[in-house]
Protein backbone atom coordinates (compact mmCIF):
# COMPACT_ATOMS: atom_id res chain seq x y z
CA UNK A 1 0.00 0.00 0.00
CA UNK A 2 1.15 3.52 -0.82
CA UNK A 3 0.27 6.41 1.47
CA UNK A 4 0.77 10.13 1.38
CA UNK A 5 1.02 12.51 4.26
CA UNK A 6 2.65 15.74 5.35
CA UNK A 7 4.96 15.33 8.34
CA UNK A 8 4.95 17.82 11.19
CA UNK A 9 7.83 20.25 11.54
CA UNK A 10 10.40 18.94 14.02
CA UNK A 11 11.40 22.50 14.92
CA UNK A 12 9.53 24.10 17.80
CA UNK A 13 11.20 27.50 17.70
CA UNK A 14 14.10 29.33 16.12
CA UNK A 15 15.79 32.05 18.15
CA UNK A 16 18.55 33.49 16.01
CA UNK A 17 21.15 30.73 15.53
CA UNK A 18 19.49 28.61 18.24
CA UNK A 19 17.08 25.90 17.11
CA UNK A 20 14.76 24.32 19.66
CA UNK A 21 13.25 21.02 18.58
CA UNK A 22 9.94 19.52 19.61
CA UNK A 23 11.80 16.46 20.89
CA UNK A 24 13.60 18.51 23.51
CA UNK A 25 10.43 20.37 24.49
CA UNK A 26 8.47 17.13 24.92
CA UNK A 27 11.25 15.51 26.95
CA UNK A 28 11.32 18.58 29.20
CA UNK A 29 7.54 18.36 29.65
CA UNK A 30 7.84 14.65 30.49
CA UNK A 31 10.45 15.35 33.18
CA UNK A 32 8.46 18.21 34.69
CA UNK A 33 5.24 16.15 34.67
CA UNK A 34 6.92 13.16 36.29
CA UNK A 35 8.52 15.39 38.91
CA UNK A 36 5.21 17.10 39.63
CA UNK A 37 3.45 13.79 40.22
CA UNK A 38 6.29 12.50 42.39
CA UNK A 39 6.19 15.65 44.51
CA UNK A 40 2.43 15.30 45.00
CA UNK A 41 2.88 11.70 46.11
CA UNK A 42 5.75 12.68 48.41
CA UNK A 43 3.55 15.33 50.00
CA UNK A 44 0.78 12.76 50.47
CA UNK A 45 3.15 10.48 52.37
CA UNK A 46 4.83 13.22 54.35
CA UNK A 47 8.17 13.32 52.56
CA UNK A 48 9.71 16.67 51.76
CA UNK A 49 8.87 17.54 48.16
CA UNK A 50 12.19 19.31 47.60
CA UNK A 51 13.93 15.99 48.06
CA UNK A 52 12.74 14.91 44.62
CA UNK A 53 13.98 18.11 43.03
CA UNK A 54 17.41 17.33 44.46
CA UNK A 55 17.18 13.74 43.21
CA UNK A 56 16.22 14.82 39.69
CA UNK A 57 19.14 17.26 39.53
CA UNK A 58 21.50 14.32 39.99
CA UNK A 59 19.48 11.67 38.17
CA UNK A 60 18.95 13.47 34.85
CA UNK A 61 22.61 13.93 33.84
CA UNK A 62 23.46 10.42 35.06
CA UNK A 63 20.49 9.01 33.11
CA UNK A 64 21.60 10.74 29.90
CA UNK A 65 25.18 9.54 30.28
CA UNK A 66 24.17 5.96 31.12
CA UNK A 67 21.63 5.93 28.27
CA UNK A 68 24.40 6.94 25.87
CA UNK A 69 26.90 4.43 27.27
CA UNK A 70 24.31 1.66 26.97
CA UNK A 71 23.65 2.56 23.32
CA UNK A 72 27.32 2.87 22.36
CA UNK A 73 28.19 -0.49 23.95
CA UNK A 74 25.68 -2.34 21.79
CA UNK A 75 26.36 -0.26 18.67
CA UNK A 76 30.12 -0.20 19.05
CA UNK A 77 30.70 -1.16 15.41
CA UNK A 78 29.34 2.25 14.43
CA UNK A 79 32.00 4.07 16.46
CA UNK A 80 35.10 1.88 16.52
CA UNK A 81 36.44 3.19 13.20
CA UNK A 82 35.05 6.71 13.47
CA UNK A 83 36.43 9.81 15.16
CA UNK A 84 36.86 9.42 18.93
CA UNK A 85 34.40 12.20 19.65
CA UNK A 86 31.62 10.25 17.90
CA UNK A 87 30.83 8.35 21.09
CA UNK A 88 29.92 11.67 22.72
CA UNK A 89 27.86 13.01 19.79
CA UNK A 90 24.52 12.54 21.51
CA UNK A 91 23.02 15.32 19.37
CA UNK A 92 23.23 12.89 16.43
CA UNK A 93 20.92 10.47 18.25
CA UNK A 94 21.57 7.26 20.09
CA UNK A 95 20.27 6.86 23.63
CA UNK A 96 18.40 3.94 25.19
CA UNK A 97 15.68 4.09 27.86
CA UNK A 98 16.94 0.96 29.64
CA UNK A 99 20.32 2.60 30.06
CA UNK A 100 18.64 5.70 31.47
CA UNK A 101 16.61 3.61 33.93
CA UNK A 102 19.69 1.72 35.11
CA UNK A 103 21.54 4.97 35.72
CA UNK A 104 18.56 6.51 37.49
CA UNK A 105 18.13 3.52 39.83
CA UNK A 106 21.82 3.54 40.76
CA UNK A 107 21.60 7.28 41.43
CA UNK A 108 18.50 6.80 43.59
CA UNK A 109 20.17 4.03 45.62
CA UNK A 110 23.18 6.25 46.36
CA UNK A 111 20.97 9.28 47.00
CA UNK A 112 18.83 7.31 49.46
CA UNK A 113 21.90 6.14 51.36
CA UNK A 114 23.31 9.66 51.60
CA UNK A 115 19.96 11.06 52.76
CA UNK A 116 19.38 8.06 55.06
CA UNK A 117 16.00 7.33 53.48
CA UNK A 118 14.73 3.94 52.35
CA UNK A 119 15.32 3.40 48.65
CA UNK A 120 12.00 1.55 48.45
CA UNK A 121 10.16 4.60 49.79
CA UNK A 122 11.75 6.82 47.17
CA UNK A 123 11.16 4.29 44.42
CA UNK A 124 7.50 3.73 45.29
CA UNK A 125 6.83 7.46 45.29
CA UNK A 126 8.70 8.00 42.03
CA UNK A 127 7.24 5.06 40.07
CA UNK A 128 3.98 6.72 38.89
CA UNK A 129 5.94 9.82 37.88
CA UNK A 130 8.47 7.73 35.96
CA UNK A 131 5.87 5.93 33.88
CA UNK A 132 3.99 9.19 33.27
CA UNK A 133 7.21 10.74 31.99
CA UNK A 134 7.80 7.76 29.72
CA UNK A 135 4.26 7.98 28.33
CA UNK A 136 4.78 11.65 27.43
CA UNK A 137 8.38 11.26 26.30
CA UNK A 138 7.48 8.76 23.56
CA UNK A 139 5.77 11.59 21.70
CA UNK A 140 9.22 13.05 21.17
CA UNK A 141 9.95 9.95 19.09
CA UNK A 142 6.73 10.67 17.21
CA UNK A 143 7.92 14.14 16.25
CA UNK A 144 11.25 12.71 15.08
CA UNK A 145 9.55 9.89 13.11
CA UNK A 146 11.61 7.33 15.00
CA UNK A 147 11.10 4.32 17.29
CA UNK A 148 8.42 3.11 14.88
CA UNK A 149 7.54 -0.41 13.81
CA UNK A 150 7.61 -2.09 10.45
CA UNK A 151 5.35 -1.30 7.48
CA UNK A 152 1.62 -1.61 8.11
CA UNK A 153 -0.08 -4.40 6.22
CA UNK A 154 -3.30 -3.80 4.34
CA UNK A 155 -5.15 -6.07 6.78
CA UNK A 156 -3.84 -4.21 9.83
CA UNK A 157 -4.76 -0.89 8.29
CA UNK A 158 -8.27 -1.96 7.39
CA UNK A 159 -8.93 -3.57 10.78
CA UNK A 160 -7.80 -0.86 13.16
CA UNK A 161 -5.09 1.56 12.01
CA UNK A 162 -7.44 3.49 9.76
CA UNK A 163 -9.00 4.79 12.97
CA UNK A 164 -5.82 6.69 13.82
CA UNK A 165 -6.10 10.49 13.80
CA UNK A 166 -4.73 11.96 10.59
CA UNK A 167 -1.89 13.80 12.34
CA UNK A 168 -0.53 10.47 13.63
CA UNK A 169 -1.01 8.61 10.35
CA UNK A 170 0.62 11.40 8.37
CA UNK A 171 3.64 11.48 10.69
CA UNK A 172 4.08 7.72 10.37
CA UNK A 173 4.19 7.89 6.57
CA UNK A 174 7.84 7.85 5.48
CA UNK A 175 8.62 7.82 1.76
CA UNK A 176 5.11 6.66 0.98
CA UNK A 177 5.11 3.80 3.51
CA UNK A 178 2.92 3.77 6.64
CA UNK A 179 4.76 2.36 9.64
CA UNK A 180 3.34 1.00 12.88
CA UNK A 181 3.26 3.80 15.51
CA UNK A 182 4.99 1.73 18.19
CA UNK A 183 5.70 4.95 20.07
CA UNK A 184 1.91 5.25 20.47
CA UNK A 185 1.49 1.63 21.56
CA UNK A 186 4.10 2.12 24.28
CA UNK A 187 2.68 5.47 25.34
CA UNK A 188 -0.79 3.97 25.74
CA UNK A 189 0.64 0.97 27.61
CA UNK A 190 2.39 3.36 29.99
CA UNK A 191 -0.79 5.35 30.55
CA UNK A 192 -2.57 2.12 31.49
CA UNK A 193 0.37 1.35 33.76
CA UNK A 194 0.01 4.74 35.43
CA UNK A 195 -3.65 4.04 36.13
CA UNK A 196 -2.71 0.61 37.51
CA UNK A 197 -0.08 2.08 39.86
CA UNK A 198 -2.39 4.84 41.08
CA UNK A 199 -5.03 2.22 41.88
CA UNK A 200 -2.49 -0.15 43.45
CA UNK A 201 -1.19 2.46 45.88
CA UNK A 202 -4.71 2.93 47.27
CA UNK A 203 -4.74 -0.69 48.44
CA UNK A 204 -1.94 -0.18 50.94
CA UNK A 205 0.76 -2.17 49.13
CA UNK A 206 3.89 -3.42 50.84
CA UNK A 207 6.89 -1.19 50.54
CA UNK A 208 8.72 -1.54 47.25
CA UNK A 209 5.86 -3.19 45.44
CA UNK A 210 4.63 -0.11 43.62
CA UNK A 211 8.04 0.35 42.04
CA UNK A 212 8.50 -3.36 41.37
CA UNK A 213 5.02 -3.49 39.83
CA UNK A 214 6.03 -0.61 37.58
CA UNK A 215 9.15 -2.49 36.48
CA UNK A 216 7.15 -5.65 35.77
CA UNK A 217 4.35 -3.81 33.95
CA UNK A 218 6.71 -1.81 31.75
CA UNK A 219 8.80 -4.88 30.93
CA UNK A 220 5.77 -6.87 29.74
CA UNK A 221 4.68 -4.13 27.35
CA UNK A 222 8.19 -3.33 26.16
CA UNK A 223 8.92 -6.98 25.37
CA UNK A 224 6.05 -7.27 22.92
CA UNK A 225 6.34 -3.76 21.47
CA UNK A 226 10.08 -4.14 20.96
CA UNK A 227 9.39 -7.11 18.70
CA UNK A 228 7.64 -4.74 16.30
CA UNK A 229 10.33 -2.05 16.16
CA UNK A 230 12.83 -1.58 13.36
CA UNK A 231 15.53 0.20 15.35
CA UNK A 232 16.29 -2.42 18.01
CA UNK A 233 19.75 -2.97 19.44
CA UNK A 234 20.91 -6.56 18.95
CA UNK A 235 23.33 -8.98 20.56
CA UNK A 236 24.68 -12.18 19.00
CA UNK A 237 23.25 -11.00 15.71
CA UNK A 238 19.58 -11.74 16.24
CA UNK A 239 18.62 -11.25 19.91
CA UNK A 240 16.99 -7.94 20.75
CA UNK A 241 18.68 -6.42 23.80
CA UNK A 242 15.54 -4.65 25.03
CA UNK A 243 13.60 -7.92 25.04
CA UNK A 244 16.33 -9.70 26.98
CA UNK A 245 16.50 -6.85 29.51
CA UNK A 246 12.70 -6.85 29.79
CA UNK A 247 12.68 -10.58 30.59
CA UNK A 248 15.41 -10.13 33.19
CA UNK A 249 13.65 -7.19 34.85
CA UNK A 250 10.37 -9.11 34.90
CA UNK A 251 12.00 -12.14 36.53
CA UNK A 252 14.00 -10.06 38.99
CA UNK A 253 10.93 -8.02 39.95
CA UNK A 254 8.83 -11.11 40.63
CA UNK A 255 11.64 -12.83 42.55
CA UNK A 256 12.25 -9.76 44.73
CA UNK A 257 8.56 -9.44 45.58
CA UNK A 258 8.33 -13.12 46.53
CA UNK A 259 11.61 -13.02 48.49
CA UNK A 260 10.74 -9.86 50.43
CA UNK A 261 7.32 -11.22 51.33
CA UNK A 262 8.69 -14.56 52.50
CA UNK A 263 11.51 -12.96 54.46
CA UNK A 264 9.24 -10.37 56.05
CA UNK A 265 11.19 -7.47 54.52
CA UNK A 266 8.02 -6.20 52.83
CA UNK A 267 5.71 -6.53 55.79
CA UNK A 268 5.79 -2.81 56.51
CA UNK A 269 2.86 -1.13 54.83
CA UNK A 270 2.38 2.59 54.66
CA UNK A 271 -0.98 2.73 56.40
CA UNK A 272 -1.07 6.48 55.87
CA UNK A 273 2.15 6.94 57.88
CA UNK A 274 4.19 10.09 57.58
CA UNK A 275 7.60 9.33 56.15
CA UNK A 276 10.39 11.30 57.78
- Residues 260-269: tens digit of each pLDDT: 988 876 666 6
pLDDT per residue as tens digits for the range 161-185 = 888 898 999 999 998 899 999 999 9
The answer for residues whose C-beta is within 8 angstroms of residue 81's C-beta and 6 or more apart is none
Q: Print the domain residue range for 76.
A: 11-263
Cα–Cα distance list, 142 to 38, 138, 146, 170 (Å): 25, 7, 6, 11
Residue 6 located in a structural domain: no
Residue 190 located in a structural domain: yes
Domains of the chain: total: 1
Does the pLDDT value for residue 92 go beyond 80? no
Residue 28 located in a structural domain: yes
Mean pLDDT, residues 8-15: 93
Residue 197 located in a structural domain: yes
Does the pLDDT value for residue 44 go beyond 60? yes
At 158, the pLDDT band (50, 70, 90 cuts) reads: confident
Cα–Cα distance list, 91 to 64, 68, 98, 104, 211 (Å): 12, 11, 19, 21, 31
The answer for residues whose C-beta is within 8 angstroms of residue 170's C-beta and 6 or more apart is 5, 6, 7, 8
What pLDDT score was predicted for residue 31?
A: 95
* Mean pLDDT computed over every residue of the chain: 90
What pLDDT score was predicted for residue 204?
A: 78
Residue 274 located in a structural domain: no
Residue 3 located in a structural domain: no
Residue 272 located in a structural domain: no
Decide which of 251 and 156 is more confident: 251
Query: Which phi and psi angles does 208 have, rounded to 5°?
Result: 90, -15
Residue 5 located in a structural domain: no
Amino acid sequence: MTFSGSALDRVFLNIGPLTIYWYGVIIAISIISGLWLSMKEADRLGLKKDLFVDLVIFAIPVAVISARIYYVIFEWDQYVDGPWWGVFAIWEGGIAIHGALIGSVITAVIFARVKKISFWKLADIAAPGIILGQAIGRWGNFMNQEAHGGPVSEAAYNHFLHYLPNFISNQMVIEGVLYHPTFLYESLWNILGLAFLLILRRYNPRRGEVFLSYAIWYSIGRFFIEGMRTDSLYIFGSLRIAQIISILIFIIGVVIIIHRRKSGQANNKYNGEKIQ
